[in-house]
Amino acid sequence: MNILIINSGSSSIKYQLFDMPSKRVICAGAIERIGSDEAIFKYKAKDVFVEEERKIHTHKRGLEEIADMLRDTHKGVIKMADEIHAVGHRVVHGGNRFSETTLINKEVKEKISAFSTLAPLHNPANLEGIILAEEIFPKASQVAVFDTAFHQTMPKKAKKYAIPTALFTEHGIQAYGFHGTSHKYVSERALEYLNQDNPKMISIHLGNGCSMTAIKNGKSVDHSMGFAPSNGLIMGSRSGDIDHSIVFHLTEQLGYGQHAVKEMLLKKSGLLGLTGYNDLRDIQAEAKKGNADCSLALEMSAYRIKKYIGAYTAAMNGLHAILFTAGIGENSSILRKMVCQEMTYFGIELDDFKNESGSSGIREINTASSRVKILVVPTNEELEIAQQTFALCGKLGKGF
Ligand code: AMP
């Protein structure tokens, strides 16, 4: 069964075509920096490797270019669109409606659209991916895998806000949690690696969006993002935690409109707001050259992560492992070092040499004496989505 996975993010589209159940990757790629004249188009199939700059200003254009490449006579891997049997879509927000992987129909699309109010940077891009995939692959089953699903196990004391209870019961205002596909995948890989009974783990997903999850007995028990994927850690362009009084001050005293506040907090804050850059590679390079704003942004990011490690260690009454994952977590030895510095009270001791030496799989970067394991675990949201899509198609008798 050929399953195409589309992970349509705020500024990127990642895609992979899997042969299931073998899990063989037929081709894979990504488009990064969508919206710029220098978007990077990547495609890798058996004997073909493409990486080039292209002008890709919209997600729609990006998906069209991916579909063209899949069907390309020389570099492609399929002849006809009908050879794609199912498309698994990463969908960020499933609100209270979706706690499981779901076959997409009209009602599901309407709900995903409605939940755009909760995830304005993501759900519209996810929905666009779905609509276009339906056009290009009309015979394929379209399946949505929700980022919110893994966090359904959070206890009420963690997911409820201290606001009038009616807002929770009648309007579903609560913490939902995000990046669930990634946190689930990396924590399962870590469980296999650690081979110990019910370890208490904190997974730290640091990509363009950033979040942390406290995981006990393999289940999410607390999480840094809440009602929408906007609070918690400092992100590429999102502020993460702020005092909500700032919103009142901006609107009541400084003349900000509601829309301007939203734009500022979601698109002009975080690393971008602090430094003018939202790509950590640029910030690290600038910090090295002596840019004080960039150095401080790195320090602030690491400090916020440290505080959540402290909070979640308390929440779980212990800690056996921390897991770094996603673009920054897997690649930035600098940030990992800053996070793990002066954490000996928690039993976290980084091995500097191991931290610097990269390898492709899961790797342990703590010292031999560290009480807590520090693991770099490459995330693979696409494989997780493929597995869930395959399982659902099997359950619904849509196998091939
Ligand atoms: P993701 O959302 O997981 O694709 O991660 C995107 C983020 O990862 C961007 O902010 C990139 O700057 C960051 N990133 C990717 N590669 C590296 C690297 N080698 N060093 C530091 N950050 C990186």
pLDDT of res. 400: 57
Determine the Cα–Cα distance for residues 316 and 180; give it in Å rounded to an integer: 19
Sole residue written with tokens 């710029």: 36
Hey, how many other C-beta atoms are within 10 angstroms of the C-beta on 264? Answer: 16
What percentage of the chain has pLDDT greater than the value 90?
83
Structure tokens at 334: 């600098």
**Would you say 278 is a known binding-site residue?**
no
110: Cβ contacts below 8 Å, ≥ 6 apart: none
368-400: per-residue pLDDT in tens?
Answer: 999 999 999 999 999 999 999 999 999 988 765
Pocket test of ligand 1: the residue of 331, 334, 337, 376 to mutate, having most ligand atoms within 8 Å of its CB, is 331
Q: How far is the CA of 332 from the centre of ligand 1 (A)?
A: 8
Domain ranges of the chain: 2-146, 196-376
**Would you say 192 is a known binding-site residue?**
no
Structure tokens at 179: 């990046």
Which class would CATH give 196-376?
A: alpha beta
Closest atom of ligand 1 relative to the 282 alpha carbon: 12
146-186: per-residue pLDDT in tens?
Answer: 999 999 999 999 999 999 999 999 888 999 999 999 999 99
Per-position DSSP letters for 250-295, written without gaps between them: HHHTS---HHHHHHHHHHS-HHHHHHS--SHHHHHHHHHTT-HHHH
pLDDT band at 280 (very low <50, low <70, confident <90, very high): very high
pLDDT band at 246 (very low <50, low <70, confident <90, very high): very high
Same fold, 2-146 and 196-376: yes
Ligand 1 binding pocket (C-beta < 6 A) is 207-208, 236, 279-281, 326-328, 331-332
Q: How far is the CA of 96 from the centre of ligand 1 (A)?
A: 31
Point out the residues that are catalytic: 147
For the entire predicted model, the pTM comes to 0.88
From atom 18 of ligand 1, which residue's Cα is the shortest distance away?
Answer: 331
From atom 23 of ligand 1, which residue's Cα is the shortest distance away?
Answer: 328
Q: Please, where are the H alpha helices in the chain?
A: 59-71, 106-114, 123-136, 156-159, 165-169, 180-194, 245-252, 258-267, 270-275, 280-288, 292-316, 326-331, 333-340, 352-356, 381-395
Determine the Cα–Cα distance for residues 336 and 222; give it in Å rounded to an integer: 21
Structure tokens at 153: 């196990």
Q: How far is the CA of 272 from the centre of ligand 1 (A)?
A: 14
What number is the average pLDDT over the span 191-211?
95
Q: What does CATH list as the number for 2-146?
A: 3.30.420.40
